[in-house]
Structure 1
Amino acid sequence: MKKQSYAGVATAVYVNYAIVGMATIFISQYSTYFQSAWHTNVKGISLVLAAVGLGRLLTIFLAGSVSDKIGRRKTMLISMVSDVIFLLGAALAHNMIVAAIAAIFFGFTNSFGDTSCYPALTDAFPTRSATMNSLVKAFMSLTQFLFPFWVSTVTNALITALSLSVFLVLDILFVCKVQFASQDKQGQLKEIQEAEHIEEPVTSVQPAMAIDGTLLIAMGFTICFTFYVFSQYLPNFGTSVLKVSPEQAKTLVSFYAMASMISVFVTAALVTKVKHLLLISIYGTVAALALFMMILVPSLTTARIGSVAIGFFAAGGIWQVGLSILTSYFPTGNGKLTSYYSFMASLTYFVGPLVSSFVISDSAASVLAVFWITAIIAAATIVIAIWLLVRSQRYHFE
């Protein structure tokens, strides 16, 4: 019997996430435009961004159950329709309330997208799921690298929203036609375990959920907080702290996204050769140092170096490495643990902008305060990773 090809599933997922990548920085890239359209300021923009996190928090646990019950295709369609509502709603809004409601829908996009697209790839490519899933981040990073150049040319957010929505509608039609793989894992379980070389402890000493599990889940928050808040307020750092033009400030996001895209492939190679917790410790240290450098020695050069460093060492897939450690430590109940880990990322989308809204304004000092908070959180990643690394010596995971 000829083996079913699921290239269509992969194409649909990658196109979707390429658009999600741009939608993620849509508000921050058009911040000046939206401040005028919504009759608000940078604090208002932060509150709208926090609404994205709220939407994700409200649906992250529900979305997983929905995906398992009604299927990957229908759940993915919910995500994509929510994205269209967000883009058009934000672009057409004339006040913060409507904008915040639209932003909540982008939270839905994230929840239903993550719980349908990643599993859909795993269903279709059980022996290559790690590689296929890592390419999601690569496509997001690629479009985030290119998007600032688009924004510098197309200054009207509504035109951009309409353009992205057209691509989403085309992808929706494509998703309705492609063949999705079965969700039945019984026949694939052994194949997955052999292909992914799931780590087993060679001693009777086991990781403790109360300590190791809690620390790993907390690290899911600190890693995500670092790169998400950084990417959202990087343009503000350029205009308020460095006093460069908005167009030049937005290109810093391109440096960040380019490094993130490269890191996806480099990190995928390194995780097969370097102990995972050691890798996170090294990556976390470089990311934190880069942030402190940007804060203490602000210049366009250090900002570019910092953007590349954060993109590579914080946003290039190290969050997924933390998840792989969690599931290898506790191989039973992976679905529940993954939900907890993803919940911490969802919390970041809400807490990061919300906290920043109390601090940030158009002044350089306020933007630097947001970056100080981010740097401290980044430093917490180092502490947690080293703590886990020391504890891991007793488990002797191979």
Structure 2
Amino acid sequence: MNKKYLPSALIMYLNYFIHGVGCSVLGQAVIKESLAASWGVDAMKITAISAALGLGRLVALPFAGPLSDKLGRRISTAIGSASYAVYLIGLALAFNAGTNGGYMIAYVCAVIGGIANSFLDTGIYPAVNEIFYKYPAVATMGVKFFISISQMLLPFLLGVSIALTANGLPSYNRLFIGCGIGYAILFVLIFLFPLPDQDAKGSGEKEGLIASLKHTRFTLESAAMIIIGFTCTGTFQLWLNCAQNFAVTNAGWADPSIMQTYYSAGTIIA
């Protein structure tokens, strides 16, 4: 590993630190109640906004990966950072819009957030593996570690960011806007530091990923891994979006937000 890439790695990991908030915030019971009150809908309808994140990922994945290989990790990461800023700041604008189209604005912004997630994945995962090429598993787990840290802190961030509107509604716009500004800063920083794939292109070396994909074949084991990825992700999303409501309704928890901290602490320990 070349130490000159360490600032770049930190910038990329910080993208996922904020992503931990962005992908989890709509699953928090207090956020659902706040947004539902502003938009005049049932709190569980906010899960449709969360589903829009998945729709955005599905739309972007087919071309996000090839674009990352063709134009570079920097461009893919920058698109992801910029799109995530739009998503998070858009949630604040949607909250302020209230019943005047707020729900639809949030849905569109969530699709953009899903697109952002795809570009971050296809830019950052290969980039950190190229930076820490001797320890690819550790590099990948570093992404999950930064996500888990931010998710563990999320209930506390909700506590310090809450405010009341003129109508007396609880608002978490400070958190949305703050995270959006954070992504805007990371968008700028990603252009200031070197990345291995750009240096390789500059020295005349060719990317080997596309060529290797031509020889890729699916086996029973690889199919099993894909199925595990689907079911594990599905289970995680179900827990993320519904567990706190379940805790309130079925277990009588007055403040279920701390569940997020317990869950994230478990992932960090593991």
Both proteins in one fold, TM over 0.5: yes
Task: Find the counterpart in structure 1 of residue 167 from structure 2.
Answer: none
1:331-363 superposed Cα distances (whole Å, 9 cap, x missing partner): xxxxxxxxxxxxxxxxxxxxxxxxxxxxxxxxx
Structure 1 contact 39–96 (Cα < 8 Å) conserved:
no
Please state whether the residue corresponding to 1:177 is helix, strand or coil: coil
Distance 1:241-1:77 versus aligned 2 partners, 3 A rule = same
Residue identity opposite 1:215 in structure 2: A
Identity %: 27
Instruction: Summarize the alignment of residues 42-57 of structure 1 with structure 2, pairs less than 5 Å apart.
Output: 42-57=43-58
Structure 1 contact 12–175 (Cα < 8 Å) conserved:
yes
Residue identity opposite 1:33 in structure 2: S
Structure 1 contact 121–132 (Cα < 8 Å) conserved:
yes
Structure 1 contact 237–249 (Cα < 8 Å) conserved:
no
Cα drift, residue 3 of structure 1: 4.9
Task: Find the counterpart in structure 2 of residue 15 from structure 1.
Answer: 14
Structure 2 CA distance for aligned equivalents of residues 237 and 70 of structure 1:
44
Structure 2 CA distance for aligned equivalents of residues 127 and 22 of structure 1:
30
Distance 1:209-1:175 versus aligned 2 partners, 3 A rule = closer
Please state whether the residue corresponding to 1:182 is helix, strand or coil: helix
1:247-275 superposed Cα distances (whole Å, 9 cap, x missing partner): x2010111001111121xxxxxxxxxxxx
Instruction: Summarize the alignment of residues 372-383 of structure 1 with structure 2, pairs less than 5 Å apart.
Output: none
Instruction: Summarize the alignment of residues 217-236 of structure 1 with structure 2, pairs less than 5 Å apart.
Output: 217-236=226-245
Structure 1 contact 52–105 (Cα < 8 Å) conserved:
yes
Task: Find the counterpart in structure 1 of residue 248 from structure 2.
Answer: 239
Cα drift, residue 4 of structure 1: 5.5
Instruction: Summarize the alignment of residues 233-382 of structure 1 with structure 2, pairs less than 5 Å apart.
Output: 233-245=242-254, 248-263=255-270
Deviant stretches of 4+, over 4 Å: 183-189
Distance 1:188-1:97 versus aligned 2 partners, 3 A rule = closer
Distance 1:236-1:90 versus aligned 2 partners, 3 A rule = same
Structure 1 CA distance for aligned equivalents of residues 141 and 229 of structure 2:
17
Task: Find the counterpart in structure 1 of residue 187 from structure 2.
Answer: 172
Structure 2 CA distance for aligned equivalents of residues 236 and 48 of structure 1:
16
Task: Find the counterpart in structure 2 of residue 121 from structure 1.
Answer: 128
Distance 1:178-1:234 versus aligned 2 partners, 3 A rule = same
Cα drift, residue 40 of structure 1: 1.4
Residue identity opposite 1:147 in structure 2: L
Structure 1 regions of 5+ residues with no counterpart? Answer: 190-207, 264-398
Larger radius of gyration: 1
Is 21-30 or 136-145 further displaced after alignment?
A: 21-30
Structure 2 regions of 5+ residues with no counterpart? Answer: 163-170, 209-216
RMSD: 2.2
Structure 2 CA distance for aligned equivalents of residues 75 and 82 of structure 1:
11
Structure 1 CA distance for aligned equivalents of residues 73 and 218 of structure 2:
30
Cα drift, residue 163 of structure 1: 1.1
Please state whether the residue corresponding to 1:126 is helix, strand or coil: coil
Task: Find the counterpart in structure 2 of residue 394 from structure 1.
Answer: none
Structure 2 CA distance for aligned equivalents of residues 132 and 215 of structure 1:
23
Cα drift, residue 59 of structure 1: 0.7
Give the aligned length: 242
Structure 1 contact 73–116 (Cα < 8 Å) conserved:
yes
Structure 2 CA distance for aligned equivalents of residues 172 and 188 of structure 1:
24
Task: Find the counterpart in structure 2 of residue 334 from structure 1.
Answer: none
Residue identity opposite 1:76 in structure 2: T
Structure 2 counterpart of 1:143, from 146, 150, 160: 150
Structure 1 contact 64–115 (Cα < 8 Å) conserved:
yes
Residue identity opposite 2:241 in structure 1: Q
Instruction: Summarize the alignment of residues 91-240 of structure 1 with structure 2, pairs less than 5 Å apart.
Output: 91-93=92-94, 94=98, 95-155=102-162, 156-182=171-197, 184=200, 209=218, 211-240=220-249
Distance 1:82-1:123 versus aligned 2 partners, 3 A rule = same
Structure 2 CA distance for aligned equivalents of residues 32 and 213 of structure 1:
41
Cα drift, residue 152 of structure 1: 2.5
Distance 1:96-1:234 versus aligned 2 partners, 3 A rule = same
Structure 2 contact 52–111 (Cα < 8 Å) conserved:
yes
